[in-house]
Amino acid sequence: MGDNVKKSLWDDVDYNELDPLKENVETDVLIIGGGIAGISTAYHLIDSGKRVTLIDRDVCGRGVSLYTTGKLTFLQKLIYHKLEFYHGFEKARDYLFATKKIINEVSEIINENDIDCDYEEVPSYVVSNKNEDVLSFNDEIEFLKKCNIDAELFLETPYGENKFTLKVNEGAVFHPFKYINSLKGICLDKGINIYEKTVAKKMRRVSNKVIIETDRANVTAENVIMACHFPFVNFPGFYFMRMHLERSYVDVSKRNGNFSLITADSPITSIRFHKDNLIFGGSGHILSKKYSYLKRFNSLKEKREEIFPGTSVMAWSTHDCITQDGLPYIGRFDGYSNVYVATGFNKWGMTNGSIAGKIISDLITKNESEFQHVFNPRRKIRIKNFLKDMGNSISNYFTHSKKKELIKINEGGITKEHLGVFKDAEGEHFVRTKCPHLGCELFFNDTDKTWDCSCHGSRFNIHGQVIQGPSTRDISL
Ligand SMILES: Cc1cc2nc3c(=O)[nH]c(=O)nc-3n(C[C@H](O)[C@H](O)[C@H](O)COP(=O)(O)OP(=O)(O)OC[C@H]3O[C@@H](n4cnc5c(N)ncnc54)[C@H](O)[C@@H]3O)c2cc1C
């Protein structure tokens, strides 16, 4: 796959990089992060009469949101009968309604602002070829019917040979970066201050205001929104104990189609099309140093070739935050009445991040929002899943070292406790492989050539500079 492994299909658009924050500022609302969640929140605050500032450690829309598959659907695998079991019918139904409503709202935003983002309405499918899934499909259909959703079981399927095919006619696909970049332009035109290449490092409270220290200057805000994918503040909140991360892979080849599909099995396979490209996702796993990313890419490609033969033209991978109870965390941050959080999108951030924009802007301007009860971040954790997540995190604190001589050119590895090396034609690049966030051992990502944390997802380049949070610091020797 060569150099194409790191590319995203959505990285085909010109964009402006804005200046960083250089001087202290005061603002009514500070949004940290300009991905789908942060930029949607900024958009909904345009007419609020509030001074709104957004900072992003890189460039808006170029975090995880650049690597999504860009589907907007409420058919998110067979989740609803499980949500009903754990949270009750009303909450499961309201998650569905919130998702359905936001898809319409995104479509309205696109129409009202004449946004060119290749938005296309397509049917959504969930499929399975396993007999044992019959009960889950029946339960899901029953749930959808109780919510007045027109869902049907079909025998025919647009993907491979499947025994069950659930189809709904609602759903859409879009170009996520074109959408986010256009919203950024609208926000700038309407007076929202956006600073890029600006990292939020610390948060403290002074009387009823919140001060965010960035790498160059401080922001004093009446309200702060942490829309930075994984919150960089550990206490309070304890999000590092309430979520784990899952990595998934995407392979692009040439083929036309007009549907969006997901399989019911684990790891899931996801399909959509963009122009003449088939976007085939899957091979997902919990973040852990035991996986070779290159092997996962290859197995995804093999799976795709069995059904859709053809050459890969592009491939990429990224990770997302997974909560313990299937619902995202959107709303008031623990311990603060004027700090908000949007995280844990469970690989459905195009809809959940857009929902976050609506809920948090409503909470700031009206002190309430229609679906806030579904996503309340202060809800109790699920002990069983919490213990599972902690078990995985703990195993990632241990070092698996390799003799330096065995590391080849273009490879990286840990040679002794907390010491990693990457070798290339220029020589050996050493880094300290203890994550500054919470001390987990890093591992070498063999496709992106980065040092990654398998507990909480921070990533560093071969020189030790942090490129993805929650860490706000580099790794140095
Ligand atoms: C392979 C894959 C495919 C997916 N496909 C879909 C899909 O089809 N549909 C769907 O609904 N969802 C999908 N998702 C999920 C979706 O992509 C994510 O949930 C979503 O992009 C997360 O958005 P975000 O705004 O939280 O994060 P991001 O897009 O990462 O935005 C966060 C921003 O915060 C900035 N930031 C971070 N830390 C700081 C800091 N300390 N200071 C300042 N700025 C900071 C970052 O630079 C970044 O720009 C997929 C996920 C994966 C893994």
Question: What are the tokens at 259?
Answer: 């549907």
Question: What are the tokens at 425?
Answer: 């034609």
Going from the Cα of 23 to the center of ligand 1, the distance in angstroms, rounded, reads 27
- The pLDDT, as a whole number, for residue 3 is 45
Going from the Cα of 63 to the center of ligand 1, the distance in angstroms, rounded, reads 6
Confidence tier at 5 by pLDDT (50, 70, 90) = low
Query: Of the residues 100, 320, 452, 473, which should be mutated to test ligand 1's pocket, given the most ligand atoms within 8 Å of the CB?
Result: 320
CB neighbours (10 Å) of residue 64? 20
Instruction: Report the pLDDT averaged over residues 433-462.
Output: 93
Going from the Cα of 368 to the center of ligand 1, the distance in angstroms, rounded, reads 25
Question: ω before 267 within 30° of 0 (cis)?
Answer: yes
Going from the Cα of 176 to the center of ligand 1, the distance in angstroms, rounded, reads 11
Q: What percent of the chain has pLDDT over 90?
A: 85
Q: What is the DSSP letter of 338?
A: S
Residue 162 has pLDDT above 90, yes or no: no
Instruction: Report the pLDDT averaged over residues 114-136.
Output: 95
Q: Is the CB of 187 under 6 A from ligand 1?
A: no
Q: Encode pLDDT of 301-327 as tens digits.
A: 999 999 999 999 999 999 999 999 999
Q: Is the CB of 245 under 6 A from ligand 1?
A: no
Domains of the chain, by residue range, sit at 404-468
260-263 and 124-128 beta bridge pairing: parallel
Supply the mean pLDDT for the chain.
93
How far is Cα 30 from Cα 339, in angstroms, rounded to an integer?
Answer: 9
Question: What are the tokens at 208?
Answer: 């009823």
- The pLDDT, as a whole number, for residue 1 is 42
Q: pTM value?
A: 0.96
Q: What percent of the chain has pLDDT over 70?
A: 97
Name the range with the highest mean pLDDT among 1-5, 55-59, 288-292, 409-413: 55-59
**For ligand 1, what atom is nearest to the CA of residue 350?**
11
**Residue 391 burial by Cβ neighbours in a 10 Å radius (0-12, 13-18, 19+):** exposed
Q: Is the CB of 351 under 6 A from ligand 1?
A: yes
How far is Cα 320 from Cα 356, in angstroms, rounded to an integer?
Answer: 16
Which one, of 331, 340, 339, 332, lies nearest residue 209 by Cα? 339
Instruction: Report the pLDDT averaged over residues 178-196.
Output: 98
Q: Is the CB of 237 under 6 A from ligand 1?
A: no
**For ligand 1, what atom is nearest to the CA of residue 247?**
53
Which one, of 269, 273, 307, 245, lies nearest residue 70 by Cα? 273
Question: What are the tokens at 321?
Answer: 């935050």
Mind giving me the DSSP string for 115-173? Answer: --S--EE--EEEEE--GGGHHHHHHHHHHHHHTT---EEES--SSSS-SEEEEES--EE
- The pLDDT, as a whole number, for residue 299 is 96
Q: Encode pLDDT of 10-60 as tens digits.
A: 999 999 999 999 999 999 999 999 999 999 999 999 999 999 999 999 999
CA angle in degrees (0–180, nearest 5) for 260-263-267: 125
Going from the Cα of 66 to the center of ligand 1, the distance in angstroms, rounded, reads 7
Strand order from edge to edge, sheet including 172-173: 71-72, 172-173, 120-121
Going from the Cα of 459 to the center of ligand 1, the distance in angstroms, rounded, reads 14
How far is Cα 289 from Cα 190, in angstroms, rounded to an integer?
Answer: 45
**Residue 155 to residues 129, 132, 160, 165, 308: CA-CA distances in angstroms?**
11, 16, 12, 6, 20
**For ligand 1, what atom is nearest to the CA of residue 38?**
25
Q: Which residue has the higher pLDDT, 153 or 278?
A: 278
Domain spanning 404-468: CATH 2.102.10.10: yes
Residue of the nearest CA to atom 14 in ligand 1? 347
Residue of the nearest CA to atom 35 in ligand 1? 33
**For ligand 1, what atom is nearest to the CA of residue 199?**
42
Residue 397 has pLDDT above 80, yes or no: no
Q: Which residues contact 258 (CB under 8 A, 6 or more apart)?
A: 120, 122, 273
Residue 246 has pLDDT above 90, yes or no: yes
Instruction: Report the pLDDT averaged over residues 359-373.
Output: 98
Residues comprising the chain, all counted? 477
- The pLDDT, as a whole number, for residue 402 is 75
Q: Is the CB of 64 under 6 A from ligand 1?
A: yes
